[in-house]
Amino acid sequence: MPRLRLPSRLPLDPYILALLATVGFAALLPARGAAAGVAGGAATGAVALLFLLYGARLSTREALDGLRHWRLHLTVLTCTFLVFPALGLAAGALVPDVLTAPLYSGLLFLCLVPSTVQSSIAFTSIARGNVPAAICAGSFSSLAGILLTPLLAAALLGGTAGGFSLDSFLRIVLQLLLPFLAGQVLRPWMGGFLARHKKVLGYVDRGSILLVVYAAFSAGMAAGIWHQVSVPRLGALLLVEAALLTVMLLLTWYGAGRLGFGREDRIAIQFAGSKKSLAAGLPMASVLFGAHAGLAVLPLMLFHQMQLMVCAVLARRRAQDPEAAPAADPEAAADAGAPSRAAGDAGEPQPQLPPHRSGEDATAATVR
């Protein structure tokens, strides 16, 4: 009987550990009183900075050039902003027996955020799929998510995320949309600088998100929301998220096959259409949920790590298919004209993948 071979190292990203450490720090030393006001103001500025940088990084012209493969991109957008939300709404039947109402709100919110770009490219390349299509599909998803995610959250989460009030609309415009548009306007002057300092700005992205997480979880401690969570409820949440990821992985693979897509396109659709962006979701949640953002982003943080671990194994399996073509270099594909780092995915934790025996994925294992 053949033995099941597992990766020697599961992709537990160091940035995920930093996020968990930030949550622990907020639980032990939450910002209170005047310090809470300072942390909240700093987090608001960090969100605006993130979306300014997202807008300055995204080349709209290059993204529009990718529309030639419109069927694939429409399929990914349908999975991200239609199928995922539908499954999230169906999970409402689990309240209150399996999930509490706050945990369900977070689960539904994770179903509304856009897809990742960086890890989708890495996994598509390792699985020997259509890397340029994965880059474009993730870019379109991130760009659409800036508008669709807040609107869907307002429509489906109602009062939990602020509803359609004028105040929530102004927060979205001032903290998300205007900085992003400003980045697009400033791109001709900022684009070269950002390209030359990608590594340093990556730390700025991640540091800003850690600040947002600290402010959100500090506010949650002050509001006492963690008394609503128990270990059995967290276990139930993990099982629900595992089922959600399984359904999406199966649906994107077999559904794309029924739609007539070839193997390489099916791989791009599977990895771009089944994943969610932590980097885009965290700052959006801080704007939409306010003091309740800490508990609202917990399902997203858990789902993100789960998708990295599962997709790492799946990408290796896809690479071993007999019909697999040689792997493409995602950075070369991006330099050839596909959109580079898209809005909402800059600073996204990267999958730490185990080394492959054949060595053909050396350039594809990490997408910078």
Give pLDDT tens digits along the chain (368 positions): 444 444 445 455 677 778 778 878 877 888 887 887 888 788 778 878 877 887 787 666 655 655 678 899 999 999 999 999 999 999 999 999 999 888 899 999 999 999 987 778 888 988 989 888 887 888 788 888 888 888 888 888 865 554 445 566 676 677 777 888 888 888 888 888 888 887 887 778 778 778 877 877 777 676 666 666 778 888 999 999 999 999 999 999 999 999 999 999 999 999 999 999 887 888 888 777 766 677 788 898 889 888 988 998 898 888 887 765 554 444 444 444 444 444 445 556 555 444 443 333 333 333 33
The number of beta carbons lying within 10 Å of the beta carbon of residue 336 is 11
C-alpha 101, offset from chain centre: 23
Number of other CB atoms surrounding residue 291 within 10 Å: 18
Q: φ and ψ at 310, to 5 degrees?
A: -70, -45
Q: Where are the alpha helices (DSSP H) in the chain?
A: 14-28, 34-57, 60-65, 70-78, 84-90, 101-110, 118-126, 131-157, 166-172, 178-196, 198-223, 231-258, 263-273, 278-289, 293-319, 330-335
Place of tokens 């598509």: 124
Largest distance between two CA atoms of the chain: 64
> pTM of the prediction?
0.74
Torsion angle (degrees, nearest 10) of CA 11, 13, 19, 23: 40
Measure the CA–CA gap between 347 and 345, rounded to whole angstroms.
Answer: 6
Q: How far is CA 350 from each of CA 170, 265, 307, 330, rounded to the nearest angstrom?
A: 32, 22, 12, 14
- Residue 329 and residue 34: Cα distance in Å, rounded? 49
Residue for token digits 């399929």? 75
What are the C-alpha distances in Å from 308 to residues 73, 113, 190, 191? 22, 16, 32, 30
Q: How far apart are CA 48 and CA 178, in angstroms?
A: 8
Count of other CB atoms within 10 angstroms of residue 309: 16
CA–CA separation, 353 and 125 (whole Å): 12
